[in-house]
Amino acid sequence: MTDVLTFGEAMVSLRADGPIGTNGTLRPSVAGAEANVSIGLARLGHRARWVGLTGKDAFGDLVLRTLRAEGVDIGHARRVGHPTGIVVFEPRISELVRVDYHRRGSAGSRLAPEDLGDALAALPRVVHATGVTAALGPAPLEAVRFALRTASEAGVATCFDVNHRMKLWSRDQAADALRPLVRHVDVLVASDDELALAAPAGARTEADRVAALLAAGVREVVVKRGADGAEVFDSTGSTARPAVRVAVRDTVGAGDAFVAGYLSGLLDGEPVAGRLDRAVTTGAFAVASLGDWEGLPGREELDLLRIAPGNVLR
């Protein structure tokens, strides 16, 4: 049985080591919220399946080869006659990074419900979706609706990360699309400023939004607070954990790493506190490393951050 089924657009990322206009060198890798989560879970020893569309091009080759090499099941991925999307990361000044997407008409943006039917039929333990895929267009949004509804009706646990992207849609557009999904979500993940996009419009405070989401059937509301850690709300109350303190190298992908850690703990039967501990740990690995997923830990490495900086492992 697949532990976690996730789906969306995986792109090639091009990371510059300086301003592109002055000949900054670009290094290719792979990016995408759901792909990051699937890699994080696979490294922790879980059976992760990613479903999506890539182009019949060299960038599509790189995406699929990377996921396969990381142990992610790509048996339901499909190649189509549209280009693989690209995201470019360009350091500008200090810690400011400019992100530029080239995904209009891309293969991944054409994901539709029919691309998920066979993968969902196998009934994974968890289905994970994000607001990034929902924002890509009508067909991907319908795919998110179909996956969450189908999983919920089959008794499969569902996880949804709001993951709002301003370059894809406005807050009003996101709220209109995401609020109806809540009734099919067991675990809702959001940063503190994203809760309003999933909660009813009448809920004005965080406490009211959390209460409304739990009343709507969400089992756990997981609130990411960045450098202040995270907190989980459920029917028994709340549990909080501080962030693991590390030297920050790159914050891209930290939220996806957090989700991978939280779902890993859930799959292992950990209580909420244990899930949060693992989530803030995997998130710390992400921010302490360059790249979306490259620095994510294997299960045997989860305790590495307890070792004092400057030590050498021999």
Q: Which residues are catalytic?
A: 256
Report the candidate in 58, 70, 71, 80 with the shortest Cα–Cα distance to residue 9: 80
In this structure, what are the phi and psi dihedrals at residue 53, rounded to the nearest 5 degrees? -115, 135
Report the candidate in 64, 94, 62 with the shortest Cα–Cα distance to residue 77: 64
